[in-house]
Structure 1
Amino acid sequence: MTKMKKTEFRPDDFVVYPAHGVGKIISIEEQEIAGLRLELFVISFEKDKMTLRVPTHKAVDIGMRGLSSPDVVTKALETLKGKAKVKRAMWSRRAQEYEQKINSGDLLSIAEVVRDLHRADDQREQSYSERQLYEAALERLTREVAAVSGTDEAGAAKKVDEVLVGRAA
C-alpha cells in the first residue's frame, strides 16, 4: 500500500475519523504549536457539535480515511443480514471488543457490532451498556451510509433498519 500524500484530503471532503465517525473537513489551517508550525485539518462533526484539528501529516497514521466505497457499504449491509455471532465470553470482555470495533473506524467491523447487538422486538431486553454500544455502532454505520449514498440520515437509517428487520423474517 502506498503512503497517501497529505493532499489526499481537501476542504468539503467527508472523512471518517476512527474514534468519532463521519466528519467534514471545513478547512486546512496553519498553527504554531510549541514553536512548530503545523498544518491542520479542521474537521467538523456537526451532529456532535464538535470540531477537531488533526495535523495533516498524522491523519493517515491515526487511521483517518475517506468514505467507504459503495461496494464496501453494500458488504456492510450484507453483514447485517448474517446471523449474530455472540461469543460466550463475559460481557465486560465482549463489550471491550465491540468498543474496539466501533472505534476502529472500519465499516465492516462496525456492521458486525450492529448485527451482533441488534434485538428484534420479541427478543430479550438489552442491558443499558449493550444498548449504548448498539446505538453508537448504528449511528456510525448510518452516518457513513448516508454520506456515501448522498441521502440524509433518516433515509439511511430506514435502509439499515429494513435490512435488520428483514433478516429476522
Structure 2
Amino acid sequence: MTFKVGDKVVYPMHGAGIIEAIEEREVLGQRQQYYIMKLPMGDMQVMIPLRSVEEVGLREVISPEEVNRVFDVLQGERTKMSQNWNRRYRANLEKIKSGDIFEVAEVVRNLALRDKEKGLSTGERRMLDSARQILISELVLAQGLPAGEVERRINEVLG
C-alpha cells in the first residue's frame, strides 16, 4: 500500500498520525525511502521505511462511518478473558499489536470494566492507558475533533 503526504495513517502500537513527508535517509549505512509521520499525541515523529509498510501494518485511519462501530464495541458486552493475569495480558497485547481499532476498543472496554470491578495491576493499568491513547489518536483524526472531546465521549460511553 502506498501513501502520500497528508494521508492520515495508523501505525500499530503507536497510534494515528499524518504523513508529513517522504524522504530518502541514510540509516546504519543504508539509504532508503521513509515516510515521516507526525503523531499528534505526544508530539512525536516516526520514520517508517517504505519497504516495511506491510510488515509493520501501517494502514489508513478509519472512515467517519466506522467511528460509530468503535463506540458500539466500547458499549458492548465484555469478552471472556482469562483469569490468569499473564495470559490475559498477552492476549490483550496481541489485540493492540494487530493495529485493528475494533480490537483496541475491545481491550479498552474490557480493561476499563475490569478496573471498575477489581482494579488493575500496574502492567494492565499501563496497557489500558496506552490502548486509550492509540484509540483516541485515531478517533481524533477520523472525526476531526480535539483529543479532549474524543476522550470525554469515550469516558461517557464507558460510564
Relative to the length of structure 2, the TM-score reads 0.88
Structure with greater helix percent: 2
Superposed CA deviations along residues 32-73 of structure 1, whole A, max 9, x for unmatched, are 456654111111224334322112232133210110112322
1:60 matched residue in structure 2: 54
Structure-1 separation of matches of 2:8 and 2:59: 9
Larger radius of gyration: 1
Q: Which structure 1 residue ranges, 5 or more long, are not aligned?
A: none
Partner of 2:87: 93
Determine if contact 1:25/1:44 at 8 Å carries over to the other structure: yes
Whichever residue aligns with residue 134 of structure 2, its letter is R
After TM superposition, the structure 1 stretch with the greater mean CA deviation from structure 2, 42-51 or 100-109, is: 42-51
Task: Indicate the residue corresponding to 1:129 in structure 2.
Answer: 123
The letter for the 1-side match of 2:155 is: D
* Structure-2 separation of matches of 1:33 and 1:164: 43
Higher RCO, 1 or 2 (CA under 8 Å, sep at least 6)? 2
For structure 2, the residue ranges without an aligned partner over 5 or more in a row are none
Q: How far apart, in 1, do the equivalents of 2:149 and 2:52 lie?
A: 34
AA matched with 1:104 = S
Return the alpha-carbon distance in structure 1 between the equivalents of residues 37 and 148 of structure 2.
23
What is the identity percentage for the equivalent residue pairs of Structure 1 and Structure 2?
Answer: 32
Mark the CA change 1:23 to 1:156 in structure 2 (over 3 Å): closer, same or farther. same
